[in-house]
Amino acid sequence: MKLATRAILVLALAGALAACGGSTASPSDAVVEATLVGTEFAFDPNAIEVAAGSKLKITLENKGTLEHDISIDALGVMLLVPVGQTLAVTTEKPVPAGTYDFYCAVAGHKEAGMVGTLTVK
């Protein structure tokens, strides 16, 4: 009788563990990605929309002949990318819903129109 009870408990435990799924990532570990290309003096695309509640990974490919960066002051993001390189940065925390301006902080680039908008919904 004890053996049958143990077998039932083992099967019940195995079923409960299987129902939990295999993922150990929490929702705050989720990452959404956005890729931009920087040239003189524009971002392509210059408008990005992503889902709220996840960390944001931004990749900037510099196809220009000058150094460019992407800065999002409200999120503490600043990524400087040398000519011909592609780099990425990920926010430390999930990004809350809102609209955020981004720009190139290299002297004169923002003023020349190298700006964009990040919308998080």
Encode pLDDT of 17-34 as tens digits.
444 444 444 556 899 999
Closest by Cα among 68, 44, 64 to 116: 44
- Domains of the chain (ranges; CATH) run 25-120 (2.60.40.420)
- Confidence bin at 2 (pLDDT 50/70/90): low
| 55-62 vs 31-39, strand pairing mode | parallel
Would the pTM count as exceeding 0.85? no
Question: What does the pLDDT read at residue 8?
Answer: 40
More confident residue, 3 or 87: 87
pLDDT digits (tens, 9 = 90+) for 55-71: 999 999 999 999 999 99
